[in-house]
Amino acid sequence: MVAVKIQSMFDFVEIFGQPEVKIDVKENTSIKDLLELLINQYGEKLKEKMIDPKTGDVFEHLEILCNGRNIKFLQGNDTNLREGDSVTIFVPIGGGSL
């Protein structure tokens, strides 16, 4: 098993109960596996926030980072998790002052 951190922001914090939760996953668990595992654990509320019912995939506007890097620029859903990895799930919002 390997220990990974799930960091969440904004409305995801309510679902996870706290901004950071630690979770043990099997070796060679991918991001895709992790998301399935999280949905199983946290149920419909998380699924509603995360999965686009039209496509069955993760919402386009959702940011999933592994150690600060968007998984799109790693191996996407196939990115494998290693001991100590940090996965961040949130919808990016904001802007700069003018």
Partner 1 sequence: MSYMGKVLRINLTAKGVKTEPLNEKDARDYMGGAGLGMKLFYNEKIKPGIDPFSEENKVVMATGFLCATTCPVAARVACITKSPLSFGVTYSNVGGFFPDEFKKTGHDAVIIEGKSEKPVYVYIKDDKVSFKDAAPIWGLNTADSQHYIKEILKDQTVRPFVIGPAGENLVRYGSIIAEKRASGRKGVGAVFGSKNLKGIVVKGSKSVKYADEKGFQEVVKKIAKAFQDSPTLYPKFGNFGTAGNVENCIAKGQMPGPNFIDPADEKYLSIGAQKNIEYRARRYACYLCPIRCGQVRVVKSGKYAGWATEGPEFETLFSLGSGIGVTDPCFIIAADRVCDDLGMDTVSAGVCIGFAMELYEKGILTKDDCDGFDLKFGNDDAAFKLLYKIAYRDGFGDLLAEGVRRATKRIGKDSEKYAMHVKGLEPPGYDPRTCKSMGLNYMTSYTGADHSRGYPPQEIFGAHHKVPWEVDPYSWDRKAELTIYNQDVGGACKDCSMFCTFAYRNALIPANLHIKYFTELWKTATGFDVTEEDIPKVGQRYNNLAHALLLKEGFTRKDDYLPERLMTEPHKIGPGKGQVMDRENCEKLLDEFYTLRGWDKNGIPKREKLVELGMDYVAEDLGLKETEKIGE
Q: Which of 17, 53, 56, 68 binds partner 1 (CB under 8 A)?
A: 68
Window contacting partner 1 (CB under 8 A); options: 3-11, 22-30, 31-39, 76-84: 3-11
Q: Is 53 in the site for partner 1 (CB under 8 A)?
A: no
Q: In angstroms, what is the minimal distance from the CB of 61 to partner 1?
A: 4
Q: Is 55 in the site for partner 1 (CB under 8 A)?
A: no
Q: Is 30 in the site for partner 1 (CB under 8 A)?
A: no
How much of the chain is helix, strand and coil, in % rounded to 5?
30, 30, 40
Calpha distance 56→61 (Å, rounded): 14
How would you classify the pairing of strands 63-66 and 2-8?
unpaired
